[in-house]
Amino acid sequence: MAKIATPKDSKQLAVLCAKLAAEKLATDIILLNIAEIDGSPSEWFVIATCASEPQLRSVADYVEVTAKKSGVDAPKSEGWDSLTWILIDFFDVVVHLMKPEARAFYKLEKLWGDATAFSISPAGRLVKYKPAKTLSNPIDDNE
């Protein structure tokens, strides 16, 4: 693996975490900028779906280890026992890796609906999130 530059701010760290999750084939990756919401626990949420417990563990390990190698302080994490939702807390960026059932149940995107949502383009850039018109869309205003 090539050396990864140390993220200079929370936005760069959020993008790095999203790219790392994508490298391990996590799906439905959304970045929420929650910095402007009163009482928000961080500046960014990165939310991704993992299809199985092994993938959840793999993605979480990869995000933690690779971020540390890039010079980011070691995060706090939880959810390793249940393996349905692993939360990785870098303080200004919180990564939520969820199995499909947990993501559908908790609907974090709706809970933080005032946030500005982004996704990662194929080129690895942050782009405004445009929900697909599908039944599996994680942000569905009709529910």
Which residues lie closer than 8 Å to 94 by C-beta, 6 or more apart?
A: 41, 42, 44, 45, 46, 87, 88
Kindly give the confidence (pLDDT) of every residue in the chain, 143 residues in length, as a single tens digit, with 9 standing for 90 and above.
456 788 999 999 999 999 999 999 999 999 999 999 999 999 999 999 999 999 999 999 999 999 999 999 999 999 999 999 999 999 999 999 999 999 999 999 999 999 999 999 888 888 998 766 544 555 555 44
Residue 69 Cα distances to 1, 7, 60, 93, 124, angstroms: 11, 11, 14, 17, 20
Which residues lie closer than 8 Å to 22 by C-beta, 6 or more apart?
A: 29, 48, 120
**pLDDT of res. 61:** 97
Q: For residue 131, tell me if it sits in a domain.
A: no
* Domain span including residue 95: 10-122
CATH of the domain at 67: 3.30.460.10
Q: For residue 16, tell me if it sits in a domain.
A: yes
Q: Total domain count for the chain?
A: 1
